[in-house]
Structure 1
Amino acid sequence: MEQEFSNSDLLSFLAAEFADADLEGKSDEEVVRGCVQASLAEWHGGIITEGWALLNTPDFPWQQVGDYANRYFDSEIEAREWLTNILEMLENCLRDRPRRDPCA
């Protein structure tokens, strides 16, 4: 699972959006809301699908998730809860976002 996961869009998303968020003083919700764009909806949908599938595996790579997101988790349970919250926020933002960017 780790090799398959190492080339994932989910990891790219976590590294790109969350790695420096704490240095910028952004909450997880601010990060998610700030990255959702209609033009990326399909990609974000894939991230959501990948994330839920990953959470349903017994070999959840919780430390790798923490490394890419620049988060420290005390346990697998904590990492699963964090990723679940991120995926739920992303789903909600995509659902609430207009289908097309008015500025595009």
Structure 2
Amino acid sequence: MPLNSAYENLYSFLAAEFADADLEGKSDQQVVHNCPTPELVNWHRTILTEGRTALHSSSFPWQKVADYANRHFENEEDVREWLTQILNLLEESVNKI
């Protein structure tokens, strides 16, 4: 999938951090708490901005979010809830740096 979109950083983050997390035996919470580093703080802030923008978009790309994160969701609302939780955890982790 090409990443040329308004949510390129978000999609890259989801694919890099979540796509294989289940295979590695990591929970979503473990993934998020382990990824922020001082070197990546600005990138993670960009991801937070893109993620919040996507959540407030009338054309929320819920299927792409699910695909990049390699997660199965029943509907858009489930994706919104999951992404909100992930962004909140990421923000909490970034703020601790």
Instruction: Bin the TM-score by the shorter chain.
Output: over 0.9
In the alignment, what sits opposite 2:79? Answer: 79
Letter in 2 for 1:39: E
* 1:91 equivalent in alignment to 2:91: yes
Q: Compute the TM-score of the two structures, normalised by the length of structure 1.
A: 0.87
Give the match's secondary structure for 2:5.
Answer: helix
Provide structure 2 residue ranges, at least 5 long, that are not aligned to the other structure.
Answer: none
* 1:55 equivalent in alignment to 2:49: no
Deviation at 1:3, TM superposition (A): 5.9
Letter in 1 for 2:46: G
Counterpart Cα distance in 1 of 2:92 and 2:37: 13
Counterpart Cα distance in 1 of 2:57 and 2:94: 25
Q: How many residues align?
A: 95
Counterpart Cα distance in 1 of 2:44 and 2:14: 11
Counterpart Cα distance in 1 of 2:48 and 2:90: 7
Provide structure 1 residue ranges, at least 5 long, that are not aligned to the other structure.
Answer: 98-104
Matches within 5 A, 1:1-104: 4-5=5-6, 8-97=8-97
Q: Compute the TM-score of the two structures, normalised by the length of structure 2.
A: 0.93
Task: Supply the RMSD in Å over aligned alpha carbons.
Answer: 1.5
Structure 1 runs of 4+ with >2 Å offset: 2-5
Higher-Rg structure is 1
Give the match's secondary structure for 2:59.
Answer: coil
